[in-house]
Structure 1
């Protein structure tokens, strides 16, 4: 079993799901169900039947299904930040490091044996289809103040910092970083569901094409 654990803000949950076997089961099965059913059709009642427990037991961990979704998306961004740190710590050239990050955020995700309690492939499908629902809400400002988007913002900050290393005079480093993070998932979604909005739907390997698209977009914008 892995000894590595992704640390998340305590504001994301009522009880840390990583602290018990039931909590881990809630997270793992909710990832599978949301990936299969979609967030709208997913309910705690359906989840309780899947894990052979009660709705009340799930509410001990999460206030509602939206908070559970925010937790799952936050875990994904924190995991991606961990992967980036692990795979780029030996790189000192900003161009190479940024290129590697673009590759990591756009590549097709597969299960990570380091974290056996999470299905990263299914979770990535949720991020592609559902991540905007974490912040397109009336309580977004309150959630932001409570630090619920800390992982996403930290990753954006890291990319923005590299952009400024390459071009210290570039005035929109955070805007470009957040645009790249959104596009890394949005273009795949468009390719699968709204194909007239992107050329990725016409290509055999949309993930590789997305990498080349974003690499071209980011570096040419920085160097313009």
Structure 2
């Protein structure tokens, strides 16, 4: 099995948690606790207790819990990019590649044993429920200047390029790309908590309806049939 190391902006952390046993443990149990407790009730003290360490040891890796959440969200977007590259390899048809990208936006939550310390399924639930809190902050402009959202912007650019490959004269590729990323998370959340404001359902963890919705909207706007 090939180990996977996700490259992230160094400004997200004080010490790369992927490089040490304790760091990987911090990531593993931060995902578990944030998913179980919610971001507001999550603290470094509770995390330190869970990993049988000290708060000081956690602070050696992350400046605060906001940076930790941002790290996790960026890790997930970069993981999604890795999955898109893998799934669309050797796909020459632009429409088929775009459909694969849309599907991967939703299904990259499937757990991969190549990264033992990250439960991608749990992490996806964090991105759905808590991800917006990573960048809807007063510090967003300063953090953007530091390049902390590069993973998100790179993913959006890849989708926008795929959209233009299908319809070069489409006037809003970046708008549609970023909207699709948000729709993928929002409508999973709506289906689970506010089913009356969406037309998709998520049953027993199956996300096919969300994938189909994204494909429907995308290819309708591009005036292109959905590829088989």
Give the TM bin, normalised by the shorter chain: over 0.9
**1:117 is matched with which residue?**
117
Does structure 2 retain, via aligned residues, the 8 Å contact 1:188–1:206?
no
| Residue in 2 that maps onto 1:9 | 9
**RMSD, aligned α-carbons:** 1.5
2:25 paired residue number: 25
Partner of 1:54: 54
* Rounded Cα–Cα distance in structure 2 between residues aligned with 1:97 and 1:160: 12
Partner of 1:127 in structure 2? 127
Does the C-alpha gap of structure 1 residues 152 and 202 become closer, same or farther in structure 2, counting only changes over 3 Å? Answer: closer
Task: State the secondary structure of the residue aligned to 1:219.
Answer: helix
Alpha-carbon shift at residue 199 of structure 1 (Å): 1.9
After TM superposition, the runs of 4+ consecutive aligned structure 1 residues lying more than 6 A away are: 202-205
Unaligned runs of 5+ in 1: none
Q: Is the partner of 2:40 in helix, strand or coil? A: coil
Q: Distance in 1 between matches of 2:140 and 2:108?
A: 29
Partner in structure 1 of residue 85 of structure 2: 85
Equivalent in the alignment of 2:160: 160
Instruction: Give the 3 Å change call, closer, same or farther, for CA 203–69 of structure 1 in structure 2.
Output: closer
Deviation per residue, 1:179-201 (Å, 9 max, x gap): 00000010010011111111224
Cα separation, partners in 2 of 1:46 and 1:12, compared to 1, 3 Å: same
* Match status 1:146 vs 2:156: no
Instruction: Check the 8 A contact 1:163/1:173 in 2, yes or no.
Output: yes
Taking structure 1 as the reference length, the TM-score comes to 0.96
Cα offset, 1:205, TM superposition:
6.9
Instruction: Give CA-to-partner distance per residue, 1:38-85, whole Å, 9 cap, x none.
Output: 001100010000000000100000000000000000000001100110
1:95 Cα offset (Å):
0.3
What secondary structure sits across from 1:223 in the alignment?
A: coil
> What residue is the counterpart of 2:99 in the other structure?
99
Contact preservation (8 Å) 2:190, 2:197: yes
Q: Which has the higher helix share?
A: 1
For residues 190 and 141 of structure 1, the distance between their equivalents in structure 2, rounded to whole angstroms, comes to 28
Instruction: Give 1:211's aligned residue.
Output: 211
Residue 169 of structure 2 aligns with which residue? Answer: 169
Query: Please, what TM-score do these two structures have when normalized by structure 2?
Result: 0.94
The CA distance in 2 between the partners of 1:29 and 1:203, in whole Å, is 26
CA distance in 2, matches of 1:12, 1:172: 31
Aligned length: 224
SS at match of 1:91: coil
* Ranges in structure 2 where 5+ consecutive residues have no aligned partner: none
